Structures are given as structure tokens and as C-alpha cells.
Structure 1
């Protein structure tokens, strides 16, 4: 089916029908108005199915996506990416998911932020998906 949609003909799967020295001849008499109508319907069908698949993928991708913006000098937590180390008897599974708090030193783009710790030490550039707002102090 994909080959028919792309090239307008089905491929031959039997090896004895293919001759490498004989050029492929395309018979233009086969192309009729009826075949053009079939192609038009097939194209519309494929287009609608691709649109439906796009909508489904977009829905699942955006299901848990947070669109959060942070301001400079705001406190945030950042995701902790660690690896297990057998030699040190350290299991990443038991490590904290977020560490911090860190201060946003600079907003580089709507999605990337430069962080510093409480001692004004540079802590790298992080994507917004890896940051979480620090909760306000409860009194």
C-alpha cells in the first residue's frame, strides 16, 4: 500500500520477474480518469488518517506538559539526574528527585535558565522542564 501511494503501482515481490538489464517501462495508457479518482480518494484518506494520528500524538504529549515561566531571582528546584554506582554502594533509585533550592540568575530564553546557588556559584543552564517552583515559606 505505501508503495502504491508513492509510486502509483504495486511492486513485484518475486525475484524471477525482475531483470536487471531490462529498463522498467511505464505504460501511460493505464492512467485514466478512474485511476486519478482512486488516487485522489486515497490521498484524502491518507491525509485524514495522518491528521488524526497527529492530534492523538499531540494530546498524549501535552497530557503532563507544564508551561511554566520563571522570573530572575526566583527560587526553584532542579531535577536531579544521577547514576547508580555499585562501587560506592549508591542507588539512583533512592536519590532525591529534585535538589535545591537554586536562584534563577538569568533567563536565556523562554525555556532555558541559568542557575546559581545560595553562595552565588554558577550551577549551569537548565531547561524549564527540569525546574520546579520553590513553595512559599509557610508560617
Structure 2
């Protein structure tokens, strides 16, 4: 809600704090079924739009005695208690959908959850990055839910919560191997591209299939004497057979 009030200008959001408090206290809670203001003051707040109304809503009703209001609030609190119990059960059901009965032990091989940050300058998007890194080995427990892990490759140690760990499985191991193979293939292609670029700079000839314009320009350079036939023969020596046929 604060983000919606702030918008593009994030310097004066604290000046709108009274309006934010009024919006929160007058909104009906999904868990209780009532607004926080009604449960604490036994009445709804008077909104700014009703300050200058000729008639105040609710003034025509008969005044309640303190005993009647207390009995009414007791009934409401009982309704709120049942609503909160039902809401807690619904929230627990949704939370337990991803909950697993597994606790790591010392020596287990696990994967740790990563918290990436996007970097536009480097062209890095956090949504596209792997969510887990590993494999790690559990080496110690700081508390029942906090453990120390060590990366098997880099030997880097981290302290993480057990909820951010994932048990090593054959599927995860296969994914890690596939990722390593893909990275190796990318490095090989980049290395081949660098070698082609260096050869092109050394010979002055593109390593990809040359265009007909390039061939015609080279032929005109030989005829005009800009490039000697010796240099042309040296260049042709590095080219495939189809270039020699064109020349």
C-alpha cells in the first residue's frame, strides 16, 4: 500500500502516513471479517468524506448501554475467533503444499537457494538465473535450523537456514552435469570464434564465406596494382577452395 501511495516520488511517502493508517484501520480484514478500528473501538471511523455531512450515519439509532455494547462485542469476538481459526487452517494448508519432511545431517550433499539481484548494466536478469547453487556439503550446525555448508568445487563456506536447502537427487546431479556440458560447449564456441577473429586480423580476410563484392574488390586491387600477386597468393593460401575458384 505504501508503494502505491509513493508512486514515482519516493521522498514524501511519510507525509501521507495519516491517510495510509486510516485506509488500513478502516479496511475489513479477510481473516477476522471486521476492520481493526471496529474491533478496538466498537465503531467504524468517520471518513474524511463524511466530515461535512449534515447528518452523521448511525445517529438515528437508539443509544446502547455499556452492558449491551459489551455483550455485543463478546459475540463479535467469538465470531472473530472462529474466523481466525478457519483462516489459520487455510493458510497452513497453502503453506504445507511445498513443505517437506526432511532435515539435513552432517555430511549430506545439498543445494542452497540463491538470492540474485538483477544488474541491467551487465545484462543480468535475476529471474533467468538458477535458483539453487551447489553441490554443497553440510559440515556443522549452528542451531537446529541453521547450518554451515561448504561448496564441493570452490570450497566456499556459507551459513544458511535449512528451509533454503534442497536435498541432492539424481535429477539435480544430472541437471548440474548438463549445465557444465552446456557451459563447456559455449566456451569452445567462443574460443573458436576468437581464433577465427585473430586469423582474420592476421590475414586481412574474413573467415566466414566472403561475399561476391569482397571477391570483386580483391580482383580489382590485383589488377590495379594495389595488392601484389605475391600478397594475393599468400591470402588465397589461407582460404577454402571455393575462394580460389572465384578469384
The TM-score, its normalising length taken from structure 1, stands at 0.69
Residues 12 and 119 of structure 1: is their aligned pair in 2 closer, same or farther, counting only changes over 3 Å? closer
Contact 1:76/1:102 (8 A) holds in 2 = yes
Corresponding residue to 1:110 among 130, 144, 160 = 144
Distance 2:87 2:118 in 1: 38
Distance 2:69 2:81 in 1: 18
- Structure 1 match to 2:66: 31
- Structure 2 match to 1:24: none
Indicate yes or no: 2:85 matched with 1:70. no
Give the root-mean-square deviation of aligned CA atoms.
3.1
Instruction: Give the 3-state SS of the residue equivalent to 2:119 in structure 1.
Output: coil
Residues 30 and 112 of structure 1: is their aligned pair in 2 closer, same or farther, counting only changes over 3 Å? same
Residues 30 and 103 of structure 1: is their aligned pair in 2 closer, same or farther, counting only changes over 3 Å? same
- Superposition deviation, residue 76 in structure 1: 0.9
Residues 89 and 38 of structure 1: is their aligned pair in 2 closer, same or farther, counting only changes over 3 Å? closer
- Structure 2 match to 1:92: 126
Distance 1:92 1:9 in 2: 47
- Superposition deviation, residue 11 in structure 1: 5.1
- Structure 2 match to 1:55: 89
Instruction: Give the 3-state SS of the residue equivalent to 1:90 in structure 2.
Output: coil
- Superposition deviation, residue 86 in structure 1: 3.2
- Structure 2 match to 1:22: none
Structure that is richer in strand per residue = 1
Distance 2:143 2:155 in 1: 21
| 1:51-104 CA distance string (max 9 Å, x none) | 111221222122212242111111111123323333333333333222211111
- Superposition deviation, residue 16 in structure 1: 6.3
Aligned residues, how many? 126
Contact 1:68/1:128 (8 A) holds in 2 = no
Ranges in structure 1 where 5+ consecutive residues have no aligned partner: 18-28
The TM-score, its normalising length taken from structure 2, stands at 0.42
